[in-house]
Structure 1
Amino acid sequence: MDIDPRRLLVLQAVAEAGTLAGAARLLGHTPSAVSQQLNRLEREVGTELAERGAGRRGQVELTAAGLVLARAGKALDETLTEAERQLAAVTGQVQGPVTIGAGPGKMLQLAAETVGELARTRPELEPRVVETEAGPGLADLRLGALDVLILADDRQTPLAVPPGCRAKIFLADEYRIAVPDDWETPATAAELTGRPWITAPPDSPQGRCFARFAAEHGVVPSVEHRAAHPFSLPGLVRNRLGAVLTARFLSDGFQNATVTDIPVTGQYLLRVMYRPTPAADAAMRAVHATMLQIGERDVATGEHPRDIPVLRMKDPSEEGGLEIQKIPVSGENGLRRG
């Protein structure tokens, strides 16, 4: 049996994406070209490998033989990726396109400034920035449409790292509760029930932390205003719409608000997930360097009155005893380094 290994990679892409169109996007081909390669592979092995249109929306289901060869394709892909990494280590050459996904606001700004860092330090790379939410971003990372994903997370309920990918924590900060400055400053969580709140989407880090906090202390808002993104908060807080739970560094810039000393369990994280390729690894390191530069700049200009905890530390995916979430598609000026 003479199998073209390139067609095994096509089959693996079909298995990953679940549709011919999805596989075509991953491979940079047309759906018809993917279909032709699949047909040729079936002729090479003399058996059916996939059932087209087996599900809705053009889904493809692999046969038992197809699953066997798809696993071989995945092993081949992993071997080639590792060979690429080792070659880059030997030659010092990393080149080609790399796609960085990030959420809106400051994360997208971080991704954009990382492009400048890469232009300076890795001019042989061709970076591209894509704005995306966590759910679609994780799916695109798994499928290879993204090489690097910058996302916010919650340490107590971290998002699952896609299979075959890696993750680093670059920022870990405490949560704080801020209230309008015309309220009497509350000393306990119980004083915040029956009051208006500015909340966040349930699947966001702040939303997950608020649900945990509310359950622990029996806090029920009288009304919920909702900010889809944490960087939308300053305007709502400035107008004294209610109490808010957010990362400590984000509360630094609030106006017309008092940051309380009420304890909140958990930590807000900024995580960078990436595929195990030399280009993605280089981009991940550039994200970290850019974060340090932004942090130093923000402290120097007074945008942040306290140090920003930019770190490189063990990721929740490497720790036991944490609830991994699966979602649908202090001090002196200066920067703390880890």
Structure 2
Amino acid sequence: MQVLRAVATSGSVTAAAAHLGYTPSAVSQQVAALEKEAGIALLERVGRGVQPTAAGRLLTRHAAIISQHLAEAETALADLRAGRTGRLTIRYFASVGPTLLAPALARFRGEHPGVAIDPKLSDPDDPLPEVEQGNADLAIVVRGPGDGSHPGIRVVHLLDDAYQAALPAGHPLAAQRVIDLTDLAGEAWVGSEPPGPCLEPIIDACAAAGFSPDFVAKSEDYATAQGFVAAGLGVSLIPRLGLGTRHPGVTIRRVRRPEPIRRIYAAVREISLTQPALRALIDALMDAAKE
């Protein structure tokens, strides 16, 4: 159809061939093939040139529209390839939202204002299946040493988030700057994590120290856990990223021997790493993690 348009615009097969870089016979053959497919004459001779018939004018108008749409599609595709446009869906858990994801998105939006971002809280569900199924482009996850690999999924280490002891104000151990984990063995405990990858580092560290924590109260959010500690129900371990807001009745101290740590990663599909926008988002998350 674009060959027909060139002939109709230039008024001759020879001129159209010169503009397109074809031979006149090649142009004539393409027009003849199009006429056969359309079942009607598309060009008619006028003097030494040609002009489109009514059917030819109809197809020529549509050819112009198609050409415009193709150009727009090529431009849109080039923008998408370059990371200037598109949409990225993110899954994250609560404690990384304000401390890690927010600054990363602020930087990313400044560098890629044309890319739409769709962040969604995934607690308490594991967001990795959403990445595997293509429902999310990136998920921020906690992975343990024993977690197996997932075919087609790349995990990028962002940071190690250490757990710290939350003690009631006036607790005898509050006078120490650093607490050995074994010092908490005989205490009543307040759970701060739901069962899953964030609780495992606490259980594993306590096991390495030779005891199992005695949970007398459980909470699945850090603010409530601190409230329980402040009320004197027990001690707790809360990750550093979960301590953005501290209860005035709670004292926070570092823990050692061993220090429980949850390891935080960005999970993406291997095939998606060809997208410049997604790579830029990972870079922004890594820089926010360093800060």
TM bucket normalised to smaller: 0.5 to 0.7
After superposition, give the CA deviation of every residue in 1:7-47 in whole Å (9 maximum; x if it has no partner).
xxxxxxxxxxxxxxxxxxxxxxxxxxxxxxxxxxxxxxxxx
Structure 2 match to 1:166: 154
What TM-score results when the alignment is normalised by the length of structure 1? 0.50
How far, CA to CA, are the matches of 1:266 and 1:223 in structure 2? 17
How far, CA to CA, are the matches of 1:223 and 1:134 in structure 2? 20
Within-5 A mapping of 1:187-202: 188-199=180-191, 200-202=193-195
Taking a change above 3 Å as real, the CA distance of residues 195 and 175 of structure 1, as seen in their structure-2 partners, is same
Over the aligned positions, Cα root-mean-square deviation in angstroms equals: 3.6
The one-letter code matched in structure 2 to 1:142 is E
Structure 2 match to 1:264: 258
Shift in Å, 1:174: 3.2
After superposition, give the CA deviation of every residue in 1:283-318 in whole Å (9 maximum; x if it has no partner).
35335426746xxxxxxxxxxxxxxxx34xxxxxxx
Residue among 279, 286, 290 paired with 2:281: 286
Taking a change above 3 Å as real, the CA distance of residues 287 and 234 of structure 1, as seen in their structure-2 partners, is farther
Within-5 A mapping of 1:29-40: none
Residue among 261, 269, 274 paired with 2:268: 274
Within-5 A mapping of 1:144-223: 144-154=134-144, 156-157=145-146, 159-185=147-173, 188-199=180-191, 200-205=193-198, 207-223=199-215
The one-letter code matched in structure 1 to 2:205 is F
How far, CA to CA, are the matches of 1:252 and 1:93 in structure 2? 33
Indicate the structure (1 or 2) with the bigger Cα radius of gyration: 2
Between Structure 1 and Structure 2, the one with more strand by share is: 2
Residue among 121, 127, 133 paired with 1:137: 127
- The answer for unaligned runs of 5 or more in structure 1 is 1-86, 294-309, 312-334
How far, CA to CA, are the matches of 2:210 and 2:153 in structure 1? 38
How far, CA to CA, are the matches of 1:161 and 1:285 in structure 2? 24
Taking a change above 3 Å as real, the CA distance of residues 105 and 120 of structure 1, as seen in their structure-2 partners, is same
What TM-score results when the alignment is normalised by the length of structure 2? 0.57
Shift in Å, 1:149: 0.4
Taking a change above 3 Å as real, the CA distance of residues 191 and 267 of structure 1, as seen in their structure-2 partners, is closer
Within-5 A mapping of 1:1-338: 92-93=82-83, 95-107=85-97, 110-111=100-101, 114-133=104-123, 135-154=125-144, 156-157=145-146, 159-185=147-173, 188-199=180-191, 200-205=193-198, 207-230=199-222, 232-248=224-240, 250=242, 254=246, 255=248, 256-275=250-269, 276-277=271-272, 282-286=277-281, 288-289=283-284, 292=287, 310-311=289-290, 335=291
After superposition, give the CA deviation of every residue in 1:82-115 in whole Å (9 maximum; x if it has no partner).
xxxxx979x6355322211112244277545655
Could you list the structure 1 runs, at least 4 aligned residues long, displaced by more than 6 angstroms after superposition. Answer: none
Secondary structure of 1:163 counterpart: coil
After superposition, give the CA deviation of every residue in 1:43-94 in whole Å (9 maximum; x if it has no partner).
xxxxxxxxxxxxxxxxxxxxxxxxxxxxxxxxxxxxxxxxxxxx979x6355
Identical-residue share of aligned pairs (%):
18
Taking a change above 3 Å as real, the CA distance of residues 122 and 273 of structure 1, as seen in their structure-2 partners, is same
Taking a change above 3 Å as real, the CA distance of residues 249 and 131 of structure 1, as seen in their structure-2 partners, is closer
Secondary structure of 1:130 counterpart: strand
Higher relative contact order (CA 8 A, sep 6+): 2
How far, CA to CA, are the matches of 2:200 and 2:155 in structure 1? 20
Taking a change above 3 Å as real, the CA distance of residues 160 and 101 of structure 1, as seen in their structure-2 partners, is farther
Taking a change above 3 Å as real, the CA distance of residues 196 and 128 of structure 1, as seen in their structure-2 partners, is same
- The answer for unaligned runs of 5 or more in structure 2 is 1-76
After superposition, give the CA deviation of every residue in 1:211-251 in whole Å (9 maximum; x if it has no partner).
11232234344443223144654434443432222334545
